A and B are shown apart, each in its own frame.
Chain A
Amino acid sequence: MRILTCLFLGLVAFLLPLVIRSNYWLYMFTLVGIYIILVASLDLIYGYTGMVSLGHGAFFGIGAYACGILQTKLGFPFLPALILGTLFTCSVAAVLGWPMLRIKGPYFALGTLALGLMVTIVIHNWDSLTGGVSLSGIPLPPVIQFLGYTIDFSSKQIYYYFVLLFVFSTLFFIKQITHSRPGRAFQSIRENADLAEALGVDILRYKLIAYVMASTIAGVAGGLYASYMGSIEPEIAGGHMSFYLLVMIVIGGARTITGEIVGPLLLWFVPEFLEATQVYRPLFFGFILLVVIIFMPMGIAGKLRSLHPRISRWIP
């Protein structure tokens, strides 16, 4: 049943550009797509492995800047830049994760918070490389001729589908991983790390696997974002970004595809409809967060699943 819901959602996402002709809304949905990739990857760390990361944005920023710098300063084309940028993010996550994952609970959360701050500060101050307050002039992926079709990434529709491809892959990847041996290892760490260790799970290794995978995916999202926006600021790696990602997964509902989609959609679009200015946005986040934590501790998806087994069967 859940697979049917997934197919339906996929179809809706696929047909969306046929309904929405406005470039502005397509632009917004493309950004939501990038957020879904980020939130889904954070779910590996937070939802499945049970570690509260307040620094997931750091890897989004590192990925975005790595891809941006490779293209603007070193003249790499888009695809090699995306691959190298992602590999770079992956290695940074491995090098930082190795010592950081030994600390637990609130200490880990604070460590990741510091990580986000450090990355932002480095980007800000290394202006010869990063452009300081902003890195601009990042090109779009080049036009591709494919089977006689011209794929031009400057079209909002094309970039939407391009990001959608990554959204589908990310959600599929995470679903496959979490419903198998590595996924059970992640979840055992969340539920009871000592017991997991006693049953033979190398908890440091599996924490590192989850952390590095999630950070690598965030790096890919960064690369997609950098090319789409054309210019990026250090704040994308900062605490606000990371905090919003965490809020999105908590509100949507951890460990569910529904939650990974609903969280970003809701928190992205509802303030739009309220026509709230940027100033009031944190207030809105705070309010929704409180309501959800009190009335639906498992998030919106968790709440829907708990309503009735029959409903639960349809919530992926």
Chain B
Amino acid sequence: MDSLSLENHAPLLRVEKLSVSFGRLLAVHDLGFQIQSGEIFGLIGPNGAGKTTVFNAITGTVPLSEGKIRFAETDIAGLTTHQITARGVVRAYQAATIFPQISVVEHVMTGLHCRTSTSVWGAFLHTPFTRKEEVQSQKKVKELLEISNLADFREQPASSLTWAQQKRLMLATALATNPKLILLDEPVAGMNASEIQEMIELIATVRKKGVTVFIIEHNMKVMMKVCDRILVMNYGQKLSEGIPEEVARDPKVIEAYLGYKHN
């Protein structure tokens, strides 16, 4: 990877001295890392290491105890989640978190909310602007359904899809918000081999569209394959960081995962 040349640019996301505590529990402690524009960045660590808390902190769903989060050179800590989404950071949730009763096409359309502006009056009067925006939205949704391989299920309720399809639907909906950075929380959890392959291809397509990807995932094979760089966390702190091969050889990482004792 040409990560060396990327380092000359300002990072897309810069997390500095991040700490998040719940009462006396320090979920994340003094964590710092940077994600460059265009890369696929992975975050791994044993259960309870604080990975999801990092996502929560970036998307504004938990308050920071300390530290800074800068996205595209602006401070996003303290903004509400929907404001952060509007700036271009979106998250696809871990479990297949979806709008169950909404049809697939409307589901993806909901993701366009922050990039469209039809008001209540516009909707009521069905103004030319509303009609134009609706046509553009339909076009955009069609494209997203095609890349996520869901075009055949347009009118079905989201809950009728399979687990893997629901996760792809969620990814397509997140992409509809037109993000610069997308956070994927365990995108291949609970999938079979062919579904995993399909998701890996989808993530590659996402990157080709110029979206930077930040992944939490337990499946190491997948992480080794898709990530440019990986950050390893344990007990809320950074344990290791680097290209996948380096991280995999790091004795500290092996110890954290397999529980070898230090001599």
Contact = CB atoms under 8 A, between A and B. Distances in A.
Interface of A: 173, 176-177, 179-185, 187-188, 191-192, 194-203, 209, 213
A180 B118 contact: yes
A66 to B, nearest CB: 23
B237 interface: no
Contacts of A195: 93, 97-99
A142 to B, nearest CB: 29
Contacts of A201: 82, 110, 113-114
Contacts, number: 97
Contacts of B177: 199-200
Determine chain A's interface SS by DSSP, over half rule.
helix
B123 A198 contact: no
Nearest to B120: A182
Interface in B91-110: 91, 93, 97-102, 106, 109-110
Interface centre among A177, A184, A192, A199 (most CB of B within 10 A): A199
Interface string B116-131: 1111101111100010
Interface of B: 59, 61, 80-82, 85-86, 90-91, 93, 97-102, 106, 109-114, 116-120, 122-126, 130, 133-134, 173-174, 176-177
A191 B99 contact: yes
Interface centre among A181, A194, A195, A197 (most CB of B within 10 A): A181
Contacts of B173: 199
A195 B174 CA distance: 10
B132 to A, nearest CB: 13
Contacts of A183: 123
A185 B86 CA distance: 15
Interface centre among B86, B117, B124 (most CB of A within 10 A): B124
A197 B134 CA distance: 21
Contacts of A192: 97-100
A185 B113 contact: yes
Given A187-B102, A191-B99, A192-B97, A200 B113 contact: yes
Given A176-B123, A181-B118, A181-B133, 4 more contacts: A176-B125, A181-B113, A184-B110, A191-B101
Contacts of B125: 176
A209 B85 CA distance: 21
